[in-house]
Amino acid sequence: MRISMYLRNMGPTSDPSMLLSCALSAEGAGLDTIWLADHIAIPPDDAEGSGGRYLDPLATAAFLSGSTTRIRIGTGVLVLPYRPILPTAKWIATIQELSRERFRLGVGIGWMDAEFRAVGVERSRRGKISDEYLGFLNEAFGRDEIESNGQAMLFLPRPRRPEIVVGGSPPHALRRAAEYGDGWMPFGRDRDQLREEIGQLRELFESKGKGSPEVVVLTTLPVAGEAAVRREANELAEMGVTEIVHVWRYREASEFAEVAELLGKAGQALS
């Protein structure tokens, strides 16, 4: 079981100095990954908690990868239909290359009507677009020469493809994860429901001839003490969860560092 944390790349906590301080705290505590959110166009009436300020997760991942050495950095999740695929694939490959293959790609199809209007993409097409993009990413990381819009091109640098975990709800997210990715990133699932869905995911992976899937759960851990964290982690591990991402609203870097240290100690005890 791996333990990670969500890094708030939005609102007042997205100050560059605070982001870097939190990332270094997570790395020093021995956590596995710091995960970043993606919103590209927050409307004024939906800005509570962030003020509409969101740093791009790919740019933020690139920034943090240059100041860390061990911890992995992921998007949780990158909304694929918001961006043109070829330059996005180049961003992803470049971060993976410069971070020495520490990048993790969590992807989703998106949900916010206002954002789809802002980027000029039909929300009804988001699933189809995402499938096409994931197919392109797998192809691009599979060989040096690919084709885009009928044009042959070299996709270089071409480091190892980042791990892809698919966010969203069953059944579509499970099917998409088995078809194109390495695992699933659920959020807000009931425990009994989650257990059943992980079973379905395993069956889908087996039908594709793949190994056991990654299951990266976004949740809020009980951080009153190490024992409580370990109990929660053991319960989720028994269900097939491979990684827990602690999601919460912190205000100060010192507050983040304190929780990172507790989770790091709990994670070491679970190893």
Q: What is the pLDDT of residue 196?
A: 97
Q: What is the pLDDT of residue 270?
A: 84
Low-confidence ranges of the chain (pLDDT < 70): none
Q: Do residues 26 and 5 touch, judged by C-beta distance below 8 A?
A: yes
pTM, two decimals, is 0.97
Fold of domain 2-270? TIM Barrel (3.20.20)
Q: Where are the domains positioned within the chain?
A: 2-270
Q: Cβ-count burial of 139 within 10 angstroms (0-12 exposed, 13-18 middle, 19+ buried)? A: middle
> How far apart, in whole angstroms, are the C-alpha atoms of residue 57 and residue 260?
21
Q: What is the pLDDT of residue 197?
A: 98
Q: What is the pLDDT of residue 269?
A: 86
Tokens of 5: 């944390």
Q: What is the pLDDT of residue 51?
A: 95
Contacts of 128 (CB under 8 A, 6+ apart): none
168: closest CA among 216, 206, 212, 121? 216
Q: What is the pLDDT of residue 232?
A: 95
